Chain A
Amino acid sequence: MRLLLDALRWFIDPSHYQGSDAIQTRILEHVEMSGFAVLVAIALALPIGLILGHTGRLGFVAVSVANVGRALPSLALLALALIVVLPLGLGLGFWPTVLALIPLAVPPILTNAYVAVRNVDRDVVEAARGMGLGESDILRAIELPLALPLVIAGVRTAAVNVVATATLGAIVASGGLGRYIVDGFALQEYDRLFAGALLVAALAIVVEASLAAFEKAAVSPGIRHPGSAL
């Protein structure tokens, strides 16, 4: 309880809204790193997942490879990322963190996209093909809209995991909310540490809620509540 009060006091201190360590700056950095990692993961995993789901080939291989990413501990990935990034002269902080986060975001996006397209009613796909839709039309206009709820669920899982894990970036000198946690621990300023943890949790909830809202807006009302009156 005292810790919570301390954290609240930390939040209302105006000096925490100024300079390079300002709360809004750290939030922005956190969002930048997480957002970048998720976007790259989407760009990599979504097309592959959708196309493999459409053709029905190599799905097992893709899902297995993606799952290796899930099995790797994030801290180990961070160390690996450093080894890759440092010789390239990209420096500490942003790049190694992003590089370590991408393998974390790929598996749920890839697996969900693959499974979602596979699960689209084959009769619907055959009807579309029989009416003269080309394969890319089928994927874009039929399979993707029908797969969308599951596809977005995959992105949601990935995004929340990434937001939580981006905190580790502070170990390799990145910005973001992890700074408060790592620095707070090092300096034994537990109000700062606790405030950082609260901010990460809140950000994860906001991300989750925004993607849920996006799903609601993007998914056709025809499949939102199958069988029920709209």
Chain B
Amino acid sequence: MATQRGASVEFREVSKRYSDQVAVDRLSFTVPAGKICVLVGPSGSGKTTSLKMVNRLVEPSEGQILIDGTNVLAEEPTTLRRRIGYVIQQVGLFPHQTIAENVATVPRLLRWSGERIDARVTELLTLVGLDPRRYAKRYPAQLSGGERQRVGVARALAAEPPVMLMDEPFGAVDPIVRDRLQQEFLQIQRSQGTTVLFVTHDIDEAIRLGDRVAVMRGGRLVQFSPPAELLAHPANEFVAQFVGSDRGLKRLALLTVGGTELETDVDPARVEPKAPRLEPSMSLRDALARLLTSESELGLVYEDGRFRGALTLRQIGHMIRSDA
């Protein structure tokens, strides 16, 4: 499967006004090809409107949106939309069509051959973890909410779009299913190299999925940065409040034990036996949880059986406060 076939998406001074109301106000940012940008903010912040301007479900009043340098307004809306995957919260599967027919929507519009469509449907259902033999002929009403979301993602990916728009795609499923869908989605996105614009009001989801997070408020972009930076340096009081007073802890989830400076002048044979063993790939948040439950002041980090050093609570505290 080709990687890096995503396209860059650039907003240039984009505004949307409805009569005298400003929904989006001079929005500018660039999502590099193959990255996930999460638009996050309270309701009415203009994030969904911004998303819909990319595939022209909403036309901008001013400014330009460029996909790989080409203005979206230069293209016929239907042609443009067939190159942009689209997933919405209620999924919007066509209830009168089978799962296979739903997934085949855009390839059919593009007049792919029957065999090519069948092969692609089988490939996609497998990719999203649904056995094609069991699911292809079913109807959406026969699927669970989580299964429907998977079909929604498969349908959006069908014609290998360089860009995918997702509007709260995991909002309507329970937390356990959402967690799994997010994880699978990240894997799929990495394997496909699709550029994704993702709307949510859930800051935890934004931090987990985003390579970039765009915090919006009242139609304006308040901050645009990688999630770790957002947590370390909220641009203002609004962002700080929005990311939550536990932003330090959230940030630990993004940092790994391996990326932390360890204390190397510790003899593993001499420390208390309660000290937990940690791995470099572990997040600092998980490492902290281990330390707190083990009653030990430090954890021993091993990589492939070799002692690398010790991680202490002090160092974790230092990482929370540090710039990164």
Contact B79 A132 (CB under 8 A): yes
B294 interface residue (CB < 8 Å to A)? no
- In the bound complex, what is the Cα–Cα distance between A209 and B275 (angstroms)? 79
B60 interface residue (CB < 8 Å to A)? no
- Are A130 and B81 CB-contacts (below 8 A) given A222-B140, A229-B142? yes
B94 interface residue (CB < 8 Å to A)? yes
- In the bound complex, what is the Cα–Cα distance between A219 and B95 (angstroms)? 11
Contact B81 A145 (CB under 8 A): no
- In the bound complex, what is the Cα–Cα distance between A132 and B141 (angstroms)? 24
A78-101 contact mask (Cβ, 8 Å, vs B): 1 or 0: 000000000000000000000000
Contact B141 A222 (CB under 8 A): yes
Across the interface, B94 reaches (CB within 8 A) one of A132, A142, A225, namely: A142
A218-230 contact mask (Cβ, 8 Å, vs B): 1 or 0: 0111110111111
- In the bound complex, what is the Cα–Cα distance between A219 and B97 (angstroms)? 11
- In the bound complex, what is the Cα–Cα distance between A227 and B90 (angstroms)? 16
The residues in A between 99 and 114 inclusive whose CB is less than 8 angstroms from any CB of B are: none
Measured CB to CB, the closest approach of chain B to A63, in angstroms, equals 25
A114-145 contact mask (Cβ, 8 Å, vs B): 1 or 0: 00000001011011111111100100001001
B86 interface residue (CB < 8 Å to A)? yes
With a cutoff of 8 Å between Cβ atoms, the chain B residues found around residue A137 in the complex are: 109
With a cutoff of 8 Å between Cβ atoms, the chain B residues found around residue A126 in the complex are: 57, 88, 92
Measured CB to CB, the closest approach of chain A to B14, in angstroms, equals 18
Chain B interface, number of residues (Cβ within 8 angstroms): 31
Measured CB to CB, the closest approach of chain B to A188, in angstroms, equals 55
With a cutoff of 8 Å between Cβ atoms, the chain B residues found around residue A220 in the complex are: 95-97, 139
Closest to A148 in B: B96
With a cutoff of 8 Å between Cβ atoms, the chain A residues found around residue B86 in the complex are: 127, 130-131
Contact A230 B81 (CB under 8 A): no
- Are A134 and B139 CB-contacts (below 8 A) given A126-B57, A222-B96? no
Contact A124 B139 (CB under 8 A): no
A137-180 contact mask (Cβ, 8 Å, vs B): 1 or 0: 10000100110000000000000000000000000000000000
Closest to B156 in A: A131
The residues in B between 78 and 93 inclusive whose CB is less than 8 angstroms from any CB of A are: 78-82, 86, 88-93
Across the interface, A123 reaches (CB within 8 A) one of B90, B106, B142, namely: B90
Contact A226 B142 (CB under 8 A): no
Contact A230 B109 (CB under 8 A): no
- Are A230 and B88 CB-contacts (below 8 A) given A130-B57, A142-B94, A146-B96? no
- In the bound complex, what is the Cα–Cα distance between A226 and B92 (angstroms)? 15
Closest to A135 in B: B78
With a cutoff of 8 Å between Cβ atoms, the chain B residues found around residue A219 in the complex are: 96
Across the interface, A131 reaches (CB within 8 A) one of B52, B89, B106, namely: B106
- In the bound complex, what is the Cα–Cα distance between A219 and B139 (angstroms)? 13
Measured CB to CB, the closest approach of chain A to B29, in angstroms, equals 22
- In the bound complex, what is the Cα–Cα distance between A36 and B127 (angstroms)? 53
Can you list 9 residue pairs at the A/B interface with Cβ under 8 Å? A121-B92, A124-B95, A127-B86, A127-B88, A130-B165, A220-B95, A221-B139, A225-B141, A226-B141
Q: What are the nearest 10 A-B pairs in CB distance?
A: A127-B92, A222-B139, A132-B81, A220-B96, A132-B82, A130-B86, A123-B90, A145-B96, A132-B78, A123-B92
